[in-house]
């Protein structure tokens, strides 16, 4: 919502200005002149008199006058501090400033501001001078003088022009009092928490520092609404304030930057200034605002040159200034030094907030009527929590009471966004720098959402796009996100970066493609709708990208149709039967997804020299590339997915993939790997997980000099690793062996100096670990859970972060050297009294209790633990938590609750306790 100027919000103010002064010094001179000048300007002024004082405290009428005034003037004269009434008034004025944002103008009338700030000279506050006052009162007065002493104000000395000073004060007071708040948002659903987040960021810095704060996010997320509300909340706390909206649009017009600079100076100083060029405007802004504390909102900044012209540096503004920038492009903020800026990214509304906001516009109530509840819920799910979309749709549907119209709108929204929302969001797309950025955005919107970042980068690199740089541009413009998602591989949880996009942004991108030529699908650059894809393929039209065909349709396509598609780059034909010569596929093709391929054997002519990614997951073929000629290779292929090809018993010959980087064979029925695997010198990722028939790895696998990750999880027939595994010492980072039947790790494992993750969980046959583990200085995670029959655990590396033991024998290693250990996971463990395996672990964090889960049987003598402290000790069998977080004593028996909050039958006895650590054992366990 764009801010608009409207009438001032209702106010309880009784007066415009309250004047605080010592009467004997200035009542009949300066204050008299100031009072008359303010009155002549139409300003309602309150001047106190002795008749208002009742006893020792501020009288009710005077208190109402201070609280009810919009602006207070503190006239600090030579004998000001001798008056307890002046100091009491000043304390009350500052309290109103802190609570309500009341404006305070200090005037240092023939006094030194530093004396006021430091309470020196005539402004000394002491028991000797104010003997009747309580110490707390004196402290309050000192703080009040310190606060007013550091505020910017007027300094008047002998020789200054009193009339000029009075004129300046009246002019400034008129500007401040005539400031009209921006109109608030009609329905502030979800707004308060977002505004509070911004206010917290603004306050978490020195009050005298100049701070830039960026509110960054996609169009329609509510950036302007948040900035407007923040402006209304805090503008009164600044000497000056200004809200400049639609900066991007204005700047794009002729002399737009000059116009914005002129508007800024005019709004702040209330008089017209002619600016002839941006350089002159920037110089004037710096000169005029350099000593003023200002709240400046720069709304919808689209390029860093606009920011350079209006707020080029922190030294353009006085101490305590706050400059808030709303933008869709995070790159506009990068010119501001990191120490001087903060960034807030508003999140989408949740389901509850979305329903309430939509209902407010559609029905003028917090939730829809019961008979409209389901269709309303369906509609808000299409908006992705975007406030703009909820407002537009709610307002539109408020005029339509026929439920059939609502259902029709819902069907349309599932295909394309509403026109008003589309137009707002498309601004970001239109401002992309070049056609390659636009092509990458449309690729992502139509095809790559949910794909791993590195895979998509490989495809785009093959298209000549320089994607790493341009991806950053798309992210900073809020058109694309790269999110880390947790992916479980066996027991180990890794993070994977995937491409994500807001639903409304995705729909906007797809609508751009639809609008390329609404009546001729063959002119569309990309297709993803099944019906449209079939129409185009049947006609052999020329598109760059064809989306996925539903595999349940069992369609048969002849490869000849692709001869008429010379620009085809991306093709998904999952579940389709392709017939004919595969050399008909155009040379421009870079990505082919043919999941659920129904063929029992891949044809000998199935190769392509330019494809970068080939996905044949869930295929039904038994043989693949075993009969290919050497000159028939996938020369550029970097990613090959054969996941879950359950009939693939014989390993492919890998000679035809010289540039392969990622190979997925997980879930296949391979018995052995072809020796040619060793030729893949660029391979960094090899997934053989769940190859339950795989018995042995070829020695050639140890020649993969670039291999970083080797996944063998759930290869249940695998009993050993190649002895030369140590040859991967310069590359291998992760080795996952969970749920294998490996009996012993070869000594070569200890040579893997780059290894960070070693997963041996549920290796039930494992009996030995190499003693050389201690030398693996990069190792961070060792997982040893399961009923392993380890005879001996060697000394482990000191840099471990996570260590898991589960159902092991009691021969545990000494952990005293592990200074970085963060997680120690023990399960079903019983240790003997003489074992001091836990001593010496360094504490990293402090919580009420570190132990929030416990085992069925654990017996550790508490005195051993007094020598060390812990970060996180997870002694786990079930989700048992403490019944309360209170102090416990040794020997006490307490109940524990399960994850549903029910008290368990088992009682636990406290065997160790201090202020931050609690350990218990089962009473039944002795």
Burial class (CB in 10 A: 0-12, 13-18, 19+), 522: middle
CA–CA gap between residue 65 and residue 47 (Å, rounded): 9
* Cα(635)–Cα(653) distance, integer angstroms: 14
For residue 920, give the H/E element and its range.
Answer: strand 917-922
| Cβ–Cβ < 8 Å for 840, 816 | yes
Nearest to 463 by CA among 339, 362, 345, 587: 587
DSSP state at residue 776: -
Contact between residue 881 and residue 853 where contact means Cβ atoms under 8 Å apart: yes
Radius of gyration of the chain (CA): 36
- Convert 459-476 into a string of H (helix), E (strand) and C (coil): HHHHCCCCHHHHHHHHHH
User: How many whole angstroms separate alpha carbon 9 and alpha carbon 510?
Assistant: 43
What are the distances in angstroms from CA 714 to CA 699, 708, 802?
Answer: 20, 19, 22
* Residue where the block lists tokens 């149709």: 561
Cα separation of 559 and 578, whole Å? 6
CA dihedral 171, 176, 178, 180 (to 10 degrees): 150
The secondary structure element, H or E, covering residue 413 is helix 403-413
For 540, the token pair is 């052999």
24, 61, 78, 89: the active-site residue? 89
Could you list the beta-strand ranges (E) of 653-797: 662-664, 685-687, 709-711, 734-736, 757-759, 781-784
Cα 425 versus chain centre, distance: 20
Neighbours of 875 (CB within 10 A): 21
CA-angle at 525, arms to 520 and 526, nearest 5°: 100
Query: CB within 8 A of 39, min separation 6: which ones?
Result: 45
Question: Does residue 770 contact residue 745 with C-beta atoms inside 8 Å?
Answer: yes
Q: Is 89 a catalytic residue?
A: yes
Quote the CA–CA distance of 557 and 570 in Å, as a whole number: 17
Dihedral over alpha carbons 446, 450, 455, 456 (to 10 degrees): 30
Q: Give the Cα separation of 459 and 119 in Å (integer).
A: 70
Nearest to 367 by CA among 378, 379, 354: 354
Distance separating alpha carbons of residues 697 and 717, to the nearest angstrom = 11
Q: Say if CB 877 and CB 827 are below 8 A apart.
A: yes
CA–CA–CA angle 915, 920, 924 (5° rounding): 160
H or E segment at 157? none
* Helix (H) / strand (E) containing 536: helix 530-539
Q: Report how far residue 92's alpha carbon sits from residue 189's, in angstroms, rounded to the nearest whole number.
A: 35
Residues comprising the chain, all counted: 926
Instruction: Name the token pair of 808.
Output: 């092991």
Catalytic residues: 89
């Amino acid at each position: 919502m764009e801010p608009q100027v409207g009438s001032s919000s209702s106010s309880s103010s009784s007066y415009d200005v309250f004047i605080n002064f010592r009467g004997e010094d200035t009542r009949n001179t300066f204050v008299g002149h100031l009072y008359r000048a303010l009155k002549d300007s139409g300003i309602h002024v309150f001047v106190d008199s002795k008749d208002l004082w009742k006893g020792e405290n501020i009288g009710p009428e005077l208190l109402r006058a201070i609280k009810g005034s919009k602006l207070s003037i503190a006239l600090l004269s030579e004998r000001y501090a001798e008056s307890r009434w002046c100091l009491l008034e000043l304390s009350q004025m500052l309290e109103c400033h802190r609570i309500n944002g009341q404006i305070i103008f200090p005037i240092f009338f023939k006094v030194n501001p530093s004396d006021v700030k430091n309470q020196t000279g005539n402004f000394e506050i002491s028991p000797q001078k104010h003997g009747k006052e309580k110490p707390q009162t004196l402290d309050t007065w000192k703080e009040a003088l310190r606060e007013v002493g550091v505020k910017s104000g007027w300094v008047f000395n002998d020789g200054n022009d009193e009339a000029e000073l009075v004129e300046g004060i009246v002019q400034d007071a008129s500007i401040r009092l005539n400031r009209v708040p921006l109109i608030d948002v009609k329905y502030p659903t979800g707004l308060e928490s977002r505004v509070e987040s911004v206010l917290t960021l603004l306050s978490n810095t020195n009050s005298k520092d100049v701070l830039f704060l960026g509110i960054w996010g996609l169009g329609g997320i509510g950036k302007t609404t948040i900035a407007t509300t923040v402006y209304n909340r805090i503008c009164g706390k600044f000497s000056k304030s200004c809200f400049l909206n639609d900066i991007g649009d204005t700047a794009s017009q002729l002399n737009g930057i000059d116009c914005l600079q002129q508007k800024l100076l005019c709004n702040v100083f209330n008089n017209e200034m002619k600016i002839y060029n941006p350089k002159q405007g920037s110089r004037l802004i710096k000169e005029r605002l350099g000593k003023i504390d200002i709240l400046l909102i720069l709304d919808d900044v689209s390029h860093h040159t606009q920011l350079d012209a209006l707020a080029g540096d922190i030294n353009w503004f006085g101490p305590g200034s706050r400059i808030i920038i709303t933008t869709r492009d995070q790159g506009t903020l990068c010119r501001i030094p990191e120490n001087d800026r903060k960034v807030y990214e508003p999140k989408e509304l949740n389901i509850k907030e979305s329903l309430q906001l939509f209902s407010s516009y559609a029905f003028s109530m917090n939730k829809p009527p019961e008979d409209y509840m389901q269709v309303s819920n369906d509609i808000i799910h299409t908006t992705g929590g975007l406030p703009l979309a909820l407002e537009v749709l709610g307002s539109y549907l408020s005029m339509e009471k026929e439920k059939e119209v609502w259902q029709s709108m819902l069907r349309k929204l599932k295909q394309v966004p509403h026109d008003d929302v589309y137009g707002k969001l498309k601004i970001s797309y239109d401002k992309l720098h070049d056609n390659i950025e636009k092509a990458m955005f449309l690729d992502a919107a139509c095809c790559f959402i949910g794909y791993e970042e590195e895979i998509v980068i490989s495809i785009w690199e093959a298209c000549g796009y320089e994607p790493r740089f341009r991806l950053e541009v798309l992210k900073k413009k809020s058109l694309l996100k790269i999110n880390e998602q947790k992916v479980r591989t066996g027991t180990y949880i890794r993070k994977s970066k995937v491409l994500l996009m807001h639903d409304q942004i995705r729909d906007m991108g797809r609508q751009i493609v639809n609008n390329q030529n609404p009546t001729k699908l063959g002119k569309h650059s990309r297709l993803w709708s099944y019906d449209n894809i079939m129409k185009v393929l049947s006609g052999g039209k020329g598109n760059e990208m064809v989306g996925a065909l539903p595999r349940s349709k069992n369609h048969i396509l002849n490869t000849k149709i692709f001869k008429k598609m010379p620009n085809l780059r991306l093709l998904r034909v999952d579940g389709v039967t392709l017939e004919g010569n595969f050399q008909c596929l155009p040379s421009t093709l870079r990505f082919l997804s043919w999941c659920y391929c129904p063929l029992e054997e891949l044809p000998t002519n199935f190769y392509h020299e330019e494809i970068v990614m080939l996905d044949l997951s869930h295929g039904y073929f038994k043989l693949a590339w075993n009969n290919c000629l050497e000159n028939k290779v996938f020369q550029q292929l970097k990613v090959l997915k054969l996941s879950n090809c359950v009939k693939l018993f014989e390993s492919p010959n890998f000679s035809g993939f010289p540039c392969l980087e990622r190979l997925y064979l997980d879930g296949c029925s391979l018995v052995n790997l072809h020796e040619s695997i060793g030729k893949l010198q660029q391979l960094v990722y090899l997934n053989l997980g769940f190859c339950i028939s795989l018995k042995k790895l070829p020695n050639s696998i140890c020649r993969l000099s670039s291999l970083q990750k080797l996944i063998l999880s759930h290869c249940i027939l695998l009993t050993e690793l190649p002895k030369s595994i140590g040859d991967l010492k310069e590359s291998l980072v992760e080795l996952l062996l969970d749920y294998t039947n490996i009996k012993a790790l070869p000594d070569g494992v200890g040579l893997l100096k780059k290894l960070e993750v070693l997963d041996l969980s549920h290796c039930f046959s494992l009996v030995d670990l190499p003693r050389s583990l201690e030398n693996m200085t990069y190792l961070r995670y060792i997982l040893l859970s399961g009923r392993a029959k380890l005879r001996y655990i060697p000394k482990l590396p000191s840099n471990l972060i996570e260590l898991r033991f589960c159902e092991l024998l009691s021969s545990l290693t000494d952990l005293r050297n592990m200074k970085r250990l963060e997680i120690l996971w023990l399960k079903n463990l019983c240790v003997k009294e003489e074992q001091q395996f836990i001593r010496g672990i360094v504490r990293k964090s402090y919580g009420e209790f570190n132990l929030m889960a416990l085992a069925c049987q654990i017996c550790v003598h508490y005195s051993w633990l007094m020598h060390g402290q812990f970060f996180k000790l997870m002694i786990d069998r079930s989700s048992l938590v403490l019944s309360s977080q209170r102090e416990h004593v040794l020997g006490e028996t307490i109940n524990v609750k399960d994850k549903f909050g029910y008290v368990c039958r088992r009682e636990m006895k406290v065997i160790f306790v201090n202020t931050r650590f609690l350990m218990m054992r089962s009473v039944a366990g002795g």
